[in-house]
């Protein structure tokens, strides 16, 4: 079976019987990633212990380790705790990763740079301090990457370190299967024969750790905790010159329960071989192997008896309305130790935000808002809450006309409202319902305020016009000059009939144009069909004659 985890623990009260190998090789700290600048130009005598990521054309990446390394110093020949250092320009090799022994050095830079051999090799990972008293256990360190500049070649990655295996049981039966936690070999360049792998190579990963707290081994038990091999340089030395292979990774750590190594166990904890120059009679050109690992006895499994307690205890959302459709959200994250590192809001309508406190405007509807918090360990917790945005629409209704002392029912409509307030209240039978009866004595504008349970409100108005019997009117008597016209006017009804009709342009409208040749009395019959009122009013239009003055006619 293939184990994906970096740490594999079997805790069994009776017997563990293996049906396949337990293998966590390469499941420890990661090797440095190779990079090619794509510009095959000399970049000699780079010799710093660290470089920023932006300078990866000058130096390979360090291998991963127990130390957290900033991107500003994660390249260069210096080892990062048990991670191997990266090769630097021009084309030196990466150092091997380490565990309980030192990782090997990478090879020297290109000898054609001059001053050969110039020692700017990637340094092997440092051995981690351990003892029976300390009772510690570590993942194998990753190998450093080589420095490369030739496009098209395989990138010279460092090898990954081995993982951790812990087996706690009364008896172990392996059935000729092995317990393996080797470091990976560094990535060797492999291109068609017509091409040339002439780049610094990566270092091997360190072996991991195997802890066996077992009372009885029922058959022969073999463990492999070997360091990975540094990659060979296969480029043409006669044409391009010598450059560095990768350093070997160190062997790992074997820890067992008793005071002496059980007789029927075979433990291989050798360091990985260094890379060589395959076209230079197997020359190492400064690359060295990784050291062997260590064996410790009197194992006391480091068990924490304190129950696991998650860092994030709970998450809360506090929301409040700003307006009918705009919400203010506050995120609350309660932690036991480390604070919340990031906040992520999902508003349920496709909108998101990544601050602790935020606000959001919704279209009317129902939504589920979700808050996800993440701590510095990458652990997450979340909470969701349902949100109702205002669904409140309202119309006070059409304008209306009624007769004096009559009433009308106001035809307002509303959706989502729970409370209504009409003004002025004096002319209404109930100002708190949607459709009250209105009895205004005179023409009146009524105002409706509708609101809902969420504090939202809308305002609209409707005009009720009141007709009375005394509302009929006609233009007063007027003088006009001969040959002039005048527009008559009457009001208060729906139908109009003017007499005499001969001098009018239209006798059936409220404002006809009159062209009398002499003084004329006009009458109009006004009918109010709504209130069943009919009344006839009259007015006189006096036509003034021309007057002679000193031989002239004047008007």
The 10s digit of each residue's pLDDT in 370-423 is: 999 999 888 899 999 888 777 778 899 999 999 888 899 999 999 888 899 999
pLDDT > 90 in the chain, percent: 65
Short-list 249, 272, 170, 262, CA closest to 223: 262
Paired residues of 460 in beta bridges: 448
Q: What residue ranges define each of the domains in the chain, with the CATH number in brackets? A: 1-303 (no CATH), 312-389 (2.60.40.10), 393-467 (2.60.40.10), 472-548 (2.60.40.10)
CA dist 444 and 281 (Å) reads 111
Residue with more model confidence, 239 or 80: 80
- Burial call 116-132: b when 16+ CB within 10 Å, e when fewer: eebebbbbbbbbbebee
Cα–Cα dist 306/311, whole Å: 14
User: Chain-wide mean pLDDT for the chain?
Assistant: 89
Mean pLDDT of 498-527: 95
> Distance between terminal CA atoms of the chain?
124
Q: How many CB atoms lie within 10 A of CB 27?
A: 25
**pTM of the predicted protein model:** 0.58
Residue 3 confidence (pLDDT)? 40
pLDDT digits (tens, 9 = 90+) for 106-126: 999 999 998 989 999 999 999
The rounded radius of gyration (Å) of the Cα atoms in the chain is: 49
What are the pLDDT digits (tens) for 12-71?
Answer: 989 999 999 999 999 999 999 998 766 666 789 999 999 998 777 889 999 999 998 888
Burial class (CB in 10 A: 0-12, 13-18, 19+), 352: exposed
Q: What is the dihedral of CA 147, 152, 158, 163, to 10 degrees?
A: 160
3-state secondary structure of 239: helix
Interior/surface letters 176-190, b for 16+ CB within 10 angstroms, e for the rest = ebbbbbbbbbbbbbe
pLDDT of residue 302: 64
| pLDDT recorded at residue 469 | 65
Closest by CA position to 446, among listed 428, 432, 463: 463
Dump pLDDT digits (tens) for 239-248.
Answer: 889 999 999 9
Lowest mean pLDDT among 150-159, 272-281, 420-429, 438-447: 150-159
CA dist 530 to 205, 427, 466, 493, 527, Å? 101, 21, 11, 8, 9
Higher-pLDDT residue of 196, 466: 466
Q: What are phi and psi of 425, to 5 degrees?
A: -80, -20
Task: Check pLDDT > 60 for residue 551.
Answer: no
Q: Which of these, 166, 167, 181, 45, lies nearest to 110 by C-alpha position? A: 45
Going along 244-305, which residue ranges are E strands? Answer: 253-256, 265-268, 294-296
Confidence at residue 1, expressed as pLDDT on a 0 to 100 scale:
36
Overall average pLDDT of the 159-186 stretch: 96
pLDDT in tens, 299-326: 877 666 666 677 888 888 887 766 677 7
């Amino acid at each position: 079976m293939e184990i994906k985890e970096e740490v594999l623990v079997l805790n069994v009260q009776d017997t563990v019987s293996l049906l396949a190998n337990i293998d966590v090789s390469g499941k420890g700290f990661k090797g440095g990633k190779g990079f090619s600048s794509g510009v095959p130009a000399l970049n000699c005598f780079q010799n710093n212990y660290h470089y920023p990521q932006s300078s990866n054309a000058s130096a390979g990446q360090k291998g991963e380790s127990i130390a957290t390394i900033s991107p500003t110093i994660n390249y260069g020949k210096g080892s990062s705790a048990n991670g191997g250092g990266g090769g630097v320009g021009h084309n030196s090799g990466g150092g091997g990763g380490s565990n309980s022994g030192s990782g090997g050095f990478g090879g020297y830079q290109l000898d054609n740079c001059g001053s050969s051999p110039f020692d700017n090799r990637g340094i092997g990972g440092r051995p981690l301090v351990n003892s029976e008293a300390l009772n510690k256990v570590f993942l194998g360190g990753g190998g450093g990457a080589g420095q490369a500049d030739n496009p098209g070649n395989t990138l010279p990655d460092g090898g990954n370190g081995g993982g951790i295996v812990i087996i706690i049981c009364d008896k172990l039966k392996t059935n000729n299967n092995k317990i393996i936690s080797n470091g990976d070999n560094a990535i060797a360049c492999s291109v068609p024969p017509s091409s040339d792998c002439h780049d610094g190579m990566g270092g091997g990963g360190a072996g991991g750790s195997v802890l066996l707290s077992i009372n009885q081994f029922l058959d022969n038990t073999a463990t492999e905790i070997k360091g990975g091999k540094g990659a060979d340089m296969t480029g043409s030395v006669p044409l391009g010159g010598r450059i560095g292979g990768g350093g070997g990774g160190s062997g790992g750590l074997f820890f067992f329960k008793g005071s002496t190594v059980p007789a029927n166990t075979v433990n291989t904890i050798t360091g990985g071989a260094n890379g060589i120059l395959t076209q230079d009679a197997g020359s190492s050109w400064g690359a060295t192997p990784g050291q062997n690992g260590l064996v410790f006895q009197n194992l006391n499994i480091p068990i924490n008896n304190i129950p696991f307690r998650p860092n994030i205890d709970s998450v809360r959302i506090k929301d409040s309305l700003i307006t009918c459709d705009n919400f203010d959200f506050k995120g609350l994250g309660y932690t036991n130790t480390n604070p919340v590192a990031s906040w992520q809001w999902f508003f349920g309508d496709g909108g998101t935000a990544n601050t602790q406190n935020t606000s959001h405007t919704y279209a009317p509807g129902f939504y589920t808002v979700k808050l996800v918090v993440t701590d510095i360990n990458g652990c997450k917790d979340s909470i969701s809450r349902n949100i109702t945005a205002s669904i409140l629409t309202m119309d006070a209704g059409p304008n209306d006309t009624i007769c004096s002392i009559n009433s009308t029912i106001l035809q307002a409509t509303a959706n989502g409202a729970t409370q209504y307030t009409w003004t002025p209240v004096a002319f209404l039978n109930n100002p708190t319902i949607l459709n009250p009866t209105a009895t205004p004595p005179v023409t009146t504008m009524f105002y409706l305020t509708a609101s809902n349970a969420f504090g939202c409100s809308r305002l609209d108005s409707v005009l009720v016009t009141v007709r009375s019997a005394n509302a009929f009117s006609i233009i007063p008597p007027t003088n006009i000059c001969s040959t002039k016209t005048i527009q008559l006017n009457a009001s208060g009804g729906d139908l109009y009939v003017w007499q005499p009709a001969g001098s009018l342009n239209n006798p059936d409208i409220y404002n006809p144009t009159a062209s009398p040749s002499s003084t004329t009395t006009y009458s109009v019959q006004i009918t109010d069909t709504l209130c069943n009122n009919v009344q006839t009013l009259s007015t006189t239009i006096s036509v003034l004659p021309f007057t002679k003055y000193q031989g002239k006619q004047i008007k």
